[in-house]
Amino acid sequence: MCTSCETPAATTAGEASTDGLDFVVQGMTCGGCATKVTNAVQGVAGVTDVAVDITAGTLSVTGSADEAAITAAVEGAGYAVVRAG
Ligand SMILES: [Cu+2]
C-alpha cells in the first residue's frame, strides 16, 4: 500500500517521452501514484501525451499545455513538482 496515493501497487504508466516538457515529481512511490499524476496532467488543456517514470521520478508531457497549468495539476494531485531541463 502506498502512503502517497493510498492505492495498492500497480503497473507503471507508460514509458518516458523525449518530447515536450520534462518535470521531476517528488513523492511518487507506486503505480497508483503514477496513474494519479497521469490522470491529473491529462486533464490539462493542450496535453496530448503524458509519460511518468516512477523509478526516476520524472514526468514528461507532450503537447502545447502551459507549464504552470501542468505544475498546478500535479500539485493538485498531491505531489511536489519542479521543471527539469
Ligand atoms: Cu502510490
Q: How far is the CA of 29 from the centre of ligand 1 (A)?
A: 5
Phi, psi of 72 (to 5 degrees): -65, -40
Q: What is the 35 CA–ligand 1 centroid distance (Å)?
A: 8
The CA 34 to ligand 1 mean position distance, Å, reads 7
The pTM of the whole model exceeds 0.75? yes
- The pLDDT of residue 79: 97
CA distance linking residue 32 with residue 4, whole number of Å? 9
Domain ranges of the chain: 21-83
Alpha carbon of 1 to ligand 1 centroid (Å): 7
Q: pLDDT tens for residues 10-44?
A: 555 544 444 589 999 999 999 999 999 999 999 99
How far, in Å, is the centroid of ligand 1 from the Cα of 28? 6
Q: Across all residues in the chain, what is the average pLDDT?
A: 88
**Per-residue pLDDT at 39:** 98
Tens digit of each residue's pLDDT (9 = 90 or more) over 51-82 = 999 999 999 999 999 999 999 999 999 999 99
What is the CATH T-level fold of the domain 21-83, as seen in this structure?
Alpha-Beta Plaits (3.30.70)
Nearest-angstrom CA–CA distance, 74 and 76: 5
